[in-house]
A and B are shown apart, each in its own frame.
Chain A
Amino acid sequence: MHRRRFLAGAVAAGFGSNSARALQKLAPGMTPPAFRRTGFDGKPVDLAAFKGKVLLLDFWASWCAPCVIIIPHFQTWQARWGARGFQVIGISMDDSAAEAKAAASRLGVNYPIVMGDAKLAIAYGGILGLPVEMLVARNGRILSIWHGETPPAVIENAVRASLG
């Protein structure tokens, strides 16, 4: 019910005198914007370095219940399919890195996590609600984008199909 996909193209963000510039949304077939940040473990996380893998980008926050509920599934898939070229990358939208790191530690996350910010979020078409998950194929193109509380089986089936 809460599964949503981004609409293709630009969506006008506003009307009237306070109308804002268009928000350029991402859609399947597009390439996710590059980023290079330091992971919670102190190692660099460069999106370009994962070319050739099936990527699951997870925008999340420690206070977001639907985000936290699904993380154990990501951990399972990372462990199960990592050797086949599957990689989860978490992007925390927490205001506090300390809280995000504490949550990641408590959950025992087994994949890299970086801190996100408004600039990165806008580059990704706006992360205007959590969670947001994005599946990227081995060719570097976006396959699917899910907004909100998505049944894990929906994402799992897409990941499984993309791994071949």
Chain B
Amino acid sequence: MIRTVWALLLLMAPLLLSGVAAEPAMAATDIIPAAALVQPAELAGELKTAKPTILQVGFSKLYQQAHIPGAIYAGPTNSETGLAVLKAEADKLPRDAAVVIYCGCCPWNRCPNMDAAYTALKAMGFSKLRALYIADNFGQDWVDKGYPVVMGQ
């Protein structure tokens, strides 16, 4: 009986694993240290004077609707294709450039893009890398606050 159960489990393992892997990650952004976070109000203030390189690493339809002025689209970094876009954009920059990544696709602890983007850029050697902390989403935490935004492409 026990052997039969184990045999069934072994047979079903690929199916079960594929089902689990197919669902989106339930938690993200546990890699980025608190010291690397920048709050929306702080970044909005910085935009008036110093302008860091800003990379939007979320989904393109979000960027196409609205993005931070000067932000470059480099995502979505939850996919290999998006990570390649990010790395290609980042490769144009000196490694000591002030870089800020942001997404805002969903609540911070649900974001599938920020950890991957942060990890990739750290691995490339960026020493002044920060992540914009967007608690809920780009609309509520940036646009609705009246911070600078460019709409449309």
Binding site for B on A (CB under 8 A): 2, 4, 7, 11-16, 18-21, 23, 61-68, 93-95, 103, 106, 116-118, 121-122, 126-131, 147-149
Contacts and interface: CB of A to CB of B under 8 A. Distances in A.
Contact of B106 (A18, A19, A118, A129): A129
Given A15-B148, A66-B106, A126 B78 contact: no
Contacts of A95: 59-61, 76
Given A2-B107, A15-B147, A65-B112, A129 B61 contact: no
28 contacts: A2-B107, A2-B136, A11-B144, A11-B146, A13-B66, A13-B143, A14-B149, A14-B150, A18-B69, A18-B149, A20-B66, A21-B151, A63-B59, A65-B26, A66-B106, A66-B110, A93-B59, A94-B59, A95-B60, A118-B153, A121-B61, A126-B143, A127-B61, A127-B62, A128-B66, A130-B106, A148-B106, A149-B106
Interface of B: 19, 22-26, 47-48, 59-62, 64-66, 69, 76, 78, 104-107, 110, 112, 136-140, 143-144, 146-153
- The CB with the most chain B CB atoms within 10 A, among A18, A21, A65, A126, is that of A65
Contact of A129 (B76, B140, B146): B140
A104 B20 CA distance: 15
Given A64-B112, A149-B106, 17 more contacts: A4-B136, A12-B146, A13-B151, A20-B149, A63-B112, A65-B26, A66-B110, A67-B106, A95-B60, A95-B61, A103-B22, A121-B65, A127-B61, A127-B62, A127-B65, A128-B104, A129-B137
B78 to A, nearest CB: 5
A63 B24 contact: yes
Contacts of B138: 128-129
Given A18-B148, A65-B112, A118-B65, A128 B107 contact: no
Given A12-B146, A147-B137, A126 B26 contact: no
Contacts of A147: 136-137, 139-140
A129 B105 contact: yes
B140 A15 contact: no
A82 B113 CA distance: 36
B106 A128 contact: no
Given A94-B59, A130-B105, A149 B147 contact: no
Select the residue from A14, A15, A116 with max chain B CB neighbours within 10 A: A14
Given A64-B106, A118-B65, A4 B24 contact: no
Nearest to B138: A128
B100 to A, nearest CB: 16
B106 to A, nearest CB: 5
Contact of A68 (B24, B47, B140, B148): B24
